[in-house]
Every structure is written in C-alpha cells, then in structure tokens.
Amino acid sequence: MGDDIFRVLSPTAILGYGFPEESFQKGIEKKPHLIAVDAGSTDPGPYYLGAGISFTSKAAVKRDLGLIVKAAVATSIPCIIGSAGGCGARPHVNWTEGIIREIASENGLSFRMAVIYADIAKTTVQKAVDQDRIDPLSPALPVTTHEIEKCVRIVAQMGAEPVSKALDMGCQIILCGRCYDPVPFAAPAIKMGFQPGLAYHMGKILECAAIAASPGSGRDCVMGTLFGNHFELEALNEKRRFTRVSTAAHTMYEKSDPYFLPGPGGTLDLSETTFAEIDGGRVRVSGSQFHPSDKYTVKLEGVKSVGFRTISICGIRDPVLIRCLGTVFDEIKTEIMSEYDCTGNILFHVYGKNGVMGTLEPEKDAVCHELGVVIEVVADAQEQADGLCARIRSMLLHHSYPGRISTAGNLALLYSPSDISCGEVFEFNIYHLMSVDDPVSEFPIEIREVTP
C-alpha cells in the first residue's frame, strides 16, 4: 500500500439496500485499500432501537454481506461495517455477527474479526449527569434521572479511535455498533496520517454511496481516493457520474450549518472547500479541514417505551365534512374523554392538506377535494389501543356535522379489517452529547477468530 494514496470502496448507502455485482466487481478490480459500508441510521425512527431489530431484512443484508465479505477475505482487504443492524445496539451487532458467521461457514472462510459494542449503561449516563458532562442537542431538554431510568436502550456514536485500535489488533473484518457515519471510511486513513478533514469529508459522502452521484442511487457502488491534499470521487457504474453540483449538494446533506459539521472529537470545517470536475465523470474535492475540540464528546441515542399503537386508515371526499373536519375531530376527542377513563393519546393525521408540513405549510389557501386520514391511538396496552381506535373509527364514520345530507358513512376505509395493531411504541428521550476522557473506553472490543 502506498503512503500517498488511499482508495475506499463504498458498495451501498446502507447494508441491505443492495448493489449491482458488476459495479462492485469493477471496484474490486481497482484494488481498494478498504471496503467500508454504513449499516444504520436514526432516520427510520426510535422503534428499531427500542425493539432491538433491524429495519433491513436478513435476506437482503446477507446477500450484500456475502459479496462484501467473500471479496474482502479473498483479496485481504480490510472491511469495516458501521452501525451494525441499523441501530448499532448489542442485539443489532449480534444479529449481524450471526449473518457473517453463516457466510463464513457456507463459504469456507477464515478471518479475524473485531466486534465493537456501543451500548452505554444507564449508570454511566447518570454519572455523567452528576458530573455535568451531558449537554442536550436541540430540541432535547436536559436529561433527568427519571428519563434515564425509563430508557430501554442507549447507544453512543463512536469515533475513529476504537476502529483504529481494532486495526492495531490485526482484524480484517471490523463490526461496529453505533458509529459516527463517516468513521468506517475515514478511520484507517486518519490512522495512516492523511488529513482528517479530507478523510471525514470523503467519508461523509461515501457513507451514502452513489446518492451523491448523478443520477443518484443508494443502491450502487462508488470509489473514493484520498491523496495528500485532496480526494476524488468516482462512480463505478457507467450510468452515473459525479458533478460539482451533485457533490456539493450532498455535502449539505444532514447538516444544520452549510460549513460546519460537529462530530466525535471535533468539527469538520467546509468553509474553504472547493469542488472541481475532472475527466471520467469524477470530482476532485480539496480544502476541507478538521478542528479538534477542547473536549471529546459522543452523541447518545436513547429510547423509552410509551405504550402500544393501533391505527385505522381512511379517506374523506365530502366537501362539507372537509371544511369542518378540525371541529369534528375535537368533538370526537371530547366525547371519548368523557365516556372513557382514557389514558391513551388520540391523534388524527390528515394527508392532502398540510399533512407533511403541518403548521409550517406555506400553501395555506390550497383547496382540496379529498383527504386521507390516519386515526392513531397510543395506549398503555394493545387491547386498550385496539378498543379506543375501534370506537373512534366508528364515531368518525357516522358523526353528524352541519350541512350533512347523506346518512351513509363519512369514510372510505382502506382495509378490512379496518384497524391495524402496530405493537409497542418507542420515543427518543435521550439525544444528548456526553463528554468522555477516553474515546475508546466506552466502546469495548471483542476479538473473534472466525472459521468455517
């Protein structure tokens, strides 16, 4: 491996999303120094962290991992997987490890694997609170002992240091729990002495694979090549290419500030970054910098259970009802509360008018001729949620309102049965930064000697 260049193959935006074998093989032929893939996100919401299950299917993950692991072992290329199982808690990591072991057994593979856990104990969080080492991330409130005790599961986003330590331990496959998204792509390069700003910026783009190309796709492979003072991005499918606009636009992705992106141990500074198109549909990026912070912080993600959910999905097309729908909802809620000793949360989600933006919708005077409504009830028990949803659905179906002429139902119900039991509901209740003295100690590393 040369000291002045570092090639990273990114197969897919999230493990289990898939990718063309042709693109992947083209990437392998370019002799990457690393195969890295992100496997998680908080985008699907708190349920998967609370339930301890993946938001991608085992079959899809095994298909992707099968291609990746077999190629990595055959070519002796290190492979790093970030945020295993979607949320990166112990059940998700163990689930992914089981799939890797199945692949090794079925294909006669042997390799050394590091498993890095990212679970944080409640006592650790409470100690950090007592020592004033916890800060909320907007819109979160200061964390309390009560909320800590309610947590079902807490993880922290690890930085590059635990991954670097695993590399020092001679591991070819590194399976990470919850991880700062660019880390699997950037950590080995930073360890080798490449500029952290360039490595993290390249990692931020590569973690989404070909989404930053044009046309974008989360299901295709790209190559990032890191040099001393810049990096280059290359699509591995002839249908795609990187442009200045596509690369710069994706640089703004998931950022509250166009120039600065905080992460474990410091901030990525993009204020001097430049983008230049070069031959072959590639883009060259330079000027990105990393500023270490005075204290090292990791982001905590914790969830609590808030009950059980039942929903019913329906459509409304009566213009008279549409004009007074808010009043009808209020009347039904009032009637339910007066009839039942109700501790449930009743919500009406209206789609077709302000359903996505809500009160922030700028087109406030838009006239709609039909609406979709999701009736949602969250209660302490599934049976209670089922009963309340059924009662509310029947009330809305036959509720009277001024100007109503028809004596038939008000709703077109999408399904039969009309009510859907959705199971346990979780909410994020810890979304905070925790400062640590040692960026490795909170992320234990276990070594596995994997054999067929």
Q: Please name the helix (run of DSSP H) or strand (run of DSSP E) that holds residue 149, with its range, or none.
A: helix 145-150
CA distance 20 to 221: 8
439 preceded by cis ω (within 30°)?
A: no
Residue 342 pLDDT: 64
Place of tokens 């944080």: 120
Alpha carbon 127 to its chain's center: 27
| Ordered per-residue pLDDT tens for the chain, 452 residues | 345 899 999 999 999 999 999 999 999 999 999 999 999 999 999 999 999 999 999 999 999 999 999 999 999 999 999 999 999 999 999 999 999 999 999 999 999 999 999 999 999 999 999 999 999 998 889 999 999 999 999 999 999 999 999 999 999 999 999 999 999 999 999 999 999 999 999 999 999 999 999 999 999 999 999 999 999 999 999 999 999 999 999 999 888 899 999 999 999 999 999 999 999 999 999 999 999 999 999 999 999 999 999 999 999 999 999 999 999 999 999 999 887 766 679 999 999 988 888 888 888 778 889 999 999 999 999 999 999 999 999 999 999 999 998 888 999 999 999 999 999 999 999 999 999 999 999 999 999 999 99
Find the length of the chain.
Answer: 452
Q: Which residues, other chains included, contact 120 with Cβ-Cβ below 8 Å and sequence gap of 6+? A: 154, 155, 156, 300, 302, 434, 442
Cα dihedral 434, 439, 442, 443, rounded to 10, equals 130
CA distance 11 to 206: 9
Kindly report the number of other CB atoms within 10 A of residue 244's CB atom: 14
Q: Which two tokens stand for residue 279?
A: 């031959």
Residue 366 pLDDT: 80
Kindly report the number of other CB atoms within 10 A of residue 354's CB atom: 15
- Reported pTM: 0.94
Residue 2 pLDDT: 43
β-pair partners for 376 = 311, 347
Q: Where in the chain is the domain with CATH 3.30.70.600?
A: 305-427
CA distance 176 to 185: 12
Q: Which two tokens stand for residue 101?
A: 């072991």
**Cα–Cα separations (whole angstroms), residue 74 to 8, 111, 321, 429:** 17, 10, 65, 44
CATH class of 305-427: alpha beta
